[in-house]
Amino acid sequence: MAKQKILVTGGAGFIGSHLVRLLVNKYPDYQIVNLDALTYAGNLANLTDIEQKDNYTFVKGDIVDADFLDQLFAEQNFDGVIHLAAESHVDRSITDPMSFIKTNIIGTVNLLNAARKSWGDFEGKRFYHVSTDEVYGTLGETGLFTEETSYDPRSPYSASKASSDHLVRAYHHTYGMPIVISNCSNNYGPFQFPEKLLPLFINNIKHNKALPVYGDGKYTRDWLWVEDHATAIDVIYHEGKNGDTYNIGGHNEWKNIDIINLMIKIVDEQLGRPEGTSQKLITYVKDRAGHDRRYAIDATKVKDELGWMPSLQMEEGLTRTVKWYLENSEWMDNVTSGNYQQYYEQMYADRV
């Protein structure tokens, strides 16, 4: 593999930190530059095991700041960009859409512009945009999202990601920028901020707090072990076809209430509580506005063309995930101190 300098944006977040770790460890000859604004979701504690490596650099910066990005690209001569920085939580996008427009749309265009200005004829360059299956909207009881499914985003978050996907493709068609895009299903694993279903519920079970299940609890998601997403990004970055899109998913659909019951079983078991102890915490609450009913990915293309497949079954992945959160209570206590309490009260007060 030829030496490369890769800019990873959002590398201090949940998925980004797993990807940065994979790249830094797997490619000692590469230079990996992690650009992150360290919002509430960014956390350098996610990267302590690699922060001293010679091939790793952290840069604090905001992708909404175009001048900063232009200067960074002029100084650094990147070969590639893997763009993950984003506002990522659907519920926050319902209460504050504008921050999603700024980071996810304007920030992405700023990055595309900075790359375009510094990359000349684009020889040997690649811009990889990491996106979500939520751009496709919602499924009924049957069917899967393929790369040909029409876009139909329904939340401010998914609309901002759809917009950024279109802009990345537009830079490919208009300016010839070499790009790839992937659209992935719900990730789970260590280092996920406890605003998302699984870490939030693990933490609440531990503290005997109510588990706020939105609506009837029968919404369905397709779950993927986060390290499998990182390996997919690695393969697609290196081998994906210029201009193409790849869907990534776990072939692992669960209704929320079923995964919640499994999680309760595993957490109670690991805490040494009698089976079923935390069932009483389940509390059905007011639904999320515009809640997408079902997501499920057809990941045939990435399997057939690039040989990628998920490695881990849900029960094993969830057991590892619960173990990690229970063993890393300092990490959880740090991210749930301060503003988190305020967030929680605002988000859930009028639901319960």
Q: Are 350 and 212 in contact (CB under 8 A)?
A: no
Alpha carbon distance 4, 53 (integer Å): 16
237 catalytically annotated: no
Does position 13 bind ligand NAD by CB under 6 A? yes
Q: Are 128 and 82 in contact (CB under 8 A)?
A: yes
Does position 213 bind ligand DAU by CB under 6 A? yes
Residues 6+ apart with CB under 8 A from 54: none
Restricting to residues 70-99, which ones interact with ligand NAD according to CB under 6 A? 84-88
Restricting to residues 271-290, which ones interact with ligand NAD according to CB under 6 A? none
157 catalytically annotated: yes
Which of residues 256, 278, 321, 336 is near ligand DAU by CB under 6 A?
256
Does position 72 bind ligand DAU by CB under 6 A? no
- CB-based burial label for 160 (10 Å; 0-12, 13-18, 19+): buried
Please pick, among 62, 87, 91, 133, the residue that the annotation labels catalytic. 133
- CB-based burial label for 67 (10 Å; 0-12, 13-18, 19+): exposed
Q: Using CB under 6 A as the criterion, what x/- string covers residues 159-198 for binding ligand NAD?
A: --x----------------------x-xx-----x-----
Q: Which does 10 bind (CB under 5 to 8 A by kind): ligand NAD, ligand DAU, none?
A: ligand NAD
The residue (of 50 and 130) whose beta carbon lies closer to ligand NAD is: 130
Q: Which does 278 bind (CB under 5 to 8 A by kind): ligand DAU, ligand NAD, none?
A: none
Minimum distance of ligand DAU from residue 132's CB (angstroms): 3
Which of residues 122, 151, 214, 324 is near ligand DAU by CB under 6 A?
214
Q: Which does 221 bind (CB under 5 to 8 A by kind): ligand NAD, ligand DAU, none?
A: ligand DAU
Restricting to residues 133-162, which ones interact with ligand DAU according to CB under 6 A? 133-134
Alpha carbon distance 54, 313 (integer Å): 34
Maximum CA extent, the chain: 64
Alpha carbon distance 208, 151 (integer Å): 40
Q: Which uninterrupted H or E stretch holds 93?
A: helix 90-95
Does position 18 bind ligand DAU by CB under 6 A? no
Question: Which amino acid is it at 66?
Answer: A
Which of residues 32, 33, 41, 139 is near ligand NAD by CB under 6 A?
41
Does position 31 bind ligand DAU by CB under 6 A? no
The residue (of 36 and 134) whose beta carbon lies closer to ligand DAU is: 134
- CB-based burial label for 102 (10 Å; 0-12, 13-18, 19+): middle
Does position 200 bind ligand DAU by CB under 6 A? yes
Q: Which does 219 bind (CB under 5 to 8 A by kind): ligand NAD, ligand DAU, none?
A: ligand DAU
Please pick, among 134, 147, 292, 298, the residue that the annotation labels catalytic. 134
Alpha carbon distance 145, 136 (integer Å): 7
Residues 6+ apart with CB under 8 A from 3: 29, 30, 31
Alpha carbon distance 61, 255 (integer Å): 38
Residues belonging to the active site = 133-134, 157
Q: Which residues bind ligand NAD (CB under 6 A)?
A: 9-10, 12-16, 36-39, 41-42, 62-64, 84-88, 103, 107, 130-132, 161, 184, 186-187, 193
